Structure 1
């Protein structure tokens, strides 16, 4: 596999950026990845870029909205990995989708893997390995016979609406105890 096509950013400079400068630099990195994609597919439309993704996802190519979404919390905590891996990952989705018949291919299929390897010079990986605890807090505590479990707001709402959950270890029902 060839070396990464996008230059690796200077780590010290990247970590010295405040939030506004980091977001501006992310927009620039998306533009750099887009320009590289246009060398292969000149008709590739420029994606919009938003920093409005929440939860455990680092990034998302959103075709209906016309661009790429990124998680600002995970960006702030994983700056170098975002610039080296996440931006090319999402831009590869963007490129493959806009190719003829691209809307019919599997998200992390052969075409996407080929773009990751041959255009961006990266090993294709479908998922990140970031610590997502701060990006996806689970403040609702539930108890069983053996331990505490922490639910997200969504899972807590489902439990309040009648969905029942049991512990995988002790098979006892999970009962809401308090907000952490």
Structure 2
């Protein structure tokens, strides 16, 4: 890891801690101390996890590297606000609902649900596609959906309304639909 990457990660951790301390003083509650990791890939900039086993914030190191100022000013408050909103308002709140928006306003950050960073192609994982068919065409389901089918989940075609079945459509070259 380069010195610049190390400095950026350190700044992200410090910014996360500063926001949590600010929230503790404002809301007069102890905030969780999350494990902070830089292991997200693909299009997601950040992720807050709240579980009985511990709290965790995951950041996308590539997006931090490519967009340092915006990342520090948008993504970090976004993820920390999830932890604060959950701690202050309870677990039954909507992820980007009024409570989360109020915390974002307190942090002075825009309450945007999604980032607008340019994501380089090929940074995420590529999922295998599996052929499924219905009455009208062949569909390409990802490995995730294919595994769900193996566990009993069913998908239907939005065009003809038939349930999808494994394998290519007999006698059809197949034009995979956007599934």
Quick one: structure 1 residues 109 and 23, their matched pair in 2 at CA, closer, same or farther if it must change by over 3 Å?
farther
Distance 2:143 2:65 in 1: 22
What TM-score do you get using the length of structure 1 for normalisation? 0.61
Residue 143 of structure 1, CA deviation:
5.2
Alpha-carbon shift at residue 24 of structure 1 (Å): 5.6
Provide the residue aligned with 2:31 in structure 1. Answer: 44
Unaligned runs of 5+ in 2: 169-179
Task: Summarize deviations over 1:15-67 as a string: whole Å, max 9, x none.
Answer: xxx68854662342132132134134244343210234467644222222222
- Map of 1:156 onto structure 2: 146
CA distance in 2, matches of 1:156, 1:20: 43
Aligned match for 2:157, one of 138, 157, 167: 167
Q: Could you say what the CA RMSD is over the residues aligned between the two structures, in angstroms?
A: 3.7
- Corresponding residue to 2:131 among 134, 142, 147: 142
CA distance in 2, matches of 1:24, 1:174: 51
Give deviations 1:126-175, integer Å, cap 9, x for gaps: 344566975253321425444652x3322121234554433323446354
Unmatched 5+ stretches in structure 1: 1-17
1:113 is aligned to 101
Q: Which one of the candidate residues 75, 82, 85 is aligned to 1:86? A: 75
Query: Secondary structure at the residue paired with 1:108?
Result: coil
Contact 1:143 1:174 in 2 (8 A): yes
CA distance, structure 1, for counterparts of residue 15 and residue 147 of structure 2: 41
| 8 Å CA contact 2:43, 2:124 repeated in 1 | yes
The question of whether the paired residues in 2 share the 8 Å contact of 1:52 and 1:72 is answered with: yes
- Normalised by the size of structure 2, how large is the TM-score? 0.62
Which whole-Å CA distance do the structure 2 matches of 1:167 and 1:63 have between them? Answer: 35
Count of aligned positions = 156
Q: What is the 5 A alignment of 1:21-40?
A: 21-22=4-5, 25-40=8-23
SS in 2 for 1:165: coil
